Amino acid sequence: MERLAHTFPEHIQTLRQRADNLLAKQGLDGLIIHAGEPHRIFLDDMDYPFKVNPHFKHWVPVVDNPHCYLVVKAGEKPTLLFYRPVDFWHKVPPLPTEYWVEQFDLVPFETLDQVPALLPADRTRFAYIGEHPQRAAELGLNQVNPQAAMDSLHFQRSIKTDYEIACMDEANRIAVLGHQAARDAFLSGASEYEIQQAYLMATQHGENDVPYGNIIALNEHSAILHYTKLERQAPSESRSFLIDAGASVNGYASDITRTYAKDPQSRFGQLVAAMDDAQLEIIDAIRPGLRYTELHEMMHRKVADLMVRFELVNTDADTAFELGVTRAFFPHGLGHPIGLQVHDVAGFMQDEQGTHLAAPASYPALRCTRVLEVGMVVTIEPGLYIIDTLINDLSAEAKAVLNTPVIDELRPFGGIRIEDDVVVQASGVLNLTRKHGLA
């Protein structure tokens, strides 16, 4: 908490400077950033779990209180309209007094009909940033998420402040506790559901607190990239375990994946260890000025090397790569930007004007084509899976080099994925995941 308190004022100063420049360029008087509103479940009297507008939590570390507004004007201290209803059905949020409050003019209010009088009287040159255009219209805000402003905000968000990195560092620390508990549960023979409960207990997160649905996969389930079913009964034999799970701190996410073999000396267990080495080599190659797409292709060549070394193919690595074999065994991207959202915005944006560079046709699942810059935070998550539908789609020439008996041997283990969250620095990287002791 002390580190967050120390870095937050500079974080807000950075956001204010960015906002001042944006307002001047766009000819705006200010921004009105809406925290959001609950969404009612269809034909029900309950709401879906509330998810705050990421642009709101970029400024304010409040993620669980809808109906709040932040008013940002050039050269002025931001005003936070903080919703505190009179309510005996639900717990009313306390008036905040934490380290961050002094950076805002805090204005509590009790009813939504008070909002118009609390906003600037002349709102014609204010932009509304949020997901409720009907609410914006009711408030007389006609510029709703203007594209030029959104492009600028998203592109700048890619460079994290020290406060943001501190939040993600803490989110990694918490997630590592969960990963360690989950690993121990797997080794003790627990079911997927029981492993999930061990993770949540260790992180002190509820299922709606984690930044995404945890992937807890045993055996063949590890080959389903977004497996979230969670079997209640443990399999008769637990051969392998893949966990992709994170934590959240002030709305900032961590995203970590590990794969374990019950028998580390098996071919699969040795392949896991080799993939871990290859992932660290890719991380060591990160430097400012390198395009993320280059890292992705470098990893495919490493996967080809692993497929030769562990006899999944009967050819050399260059041939396996050129035939597209690795794309069937490593079908997703190397990783993605991370921050206020797990798959953070602007992965394809090349400048503040929103110039888009799509993923290469050969790697359609890649989520980032950016040139890496100091202060960016990305995940690095190579994988290797036995997915029969993708293998079946390979060309006849590519299928001819596959070593079917070895692939059959590995199929019951599902697949491998290893993921860390790393900060691009002027020299090398800061690995937010490994620093907390997760091998």
Both tokens assigned to 135: 């609410």
The percentage of residues in the chain with a pLDDT greater than 70, rounded to a whole number, is 100
| pLDDT in the model for residue 92 | 92
Task: Give the H/E segment covering residue 108.
Answer: strand 105-109
Looking at residue 1, its pLDDT comes to 75
pLDDT score, position 384: 98
Task: Mark the ranges of the chain whose per-residue pLDDT is less than 50.
Answer: none
**pTM, rounded to two decimals:** 0.97
The pLDDT score that the predictor gives to residue 5 is 96
Contacts of 405 (CB under 8 A, 6+ apart): none
| Rounded Cα gap, residues 406 and 271, in angstroms | 12
Q: Beta 240-245 vs 79-83: how paired, if at all?
A: unpaired
Give per-residue pLDDT as tens, 198-242. Answer: 999 999 999 999 999 999 999 999 999 999 999 999 999 999 999
Q: Which two tokens stand for residue 22?
A: 């944006």
Under a CB-based contact definition with an 8 Å cutoff, are residues 340 and 57 in contact? yes
Among left, alpha and beta (phi > 0; psi -120 to 50; other), residue 121 is: alpha
Place of tokens 């590592």: 176
DSSP structural state of residue 206: -
All domains in the chain, ordered by first residue: 2-157 (3.40.350.10), 162-436 (3.90.230.10)
pLDDT at 343: 98
In angstroms, the CA 248 to CA 151 distance is 25
For the chain, the first-to-last Cα distance in angstroms comes to 26
Tokens of 395: 């060309």
Q: What is the DSSP letter of 264?
A: T
Tokens coding 223: 């080959």
* Contact status, residue 199 vs residue 216, Cβ threshold 8 Å: yes
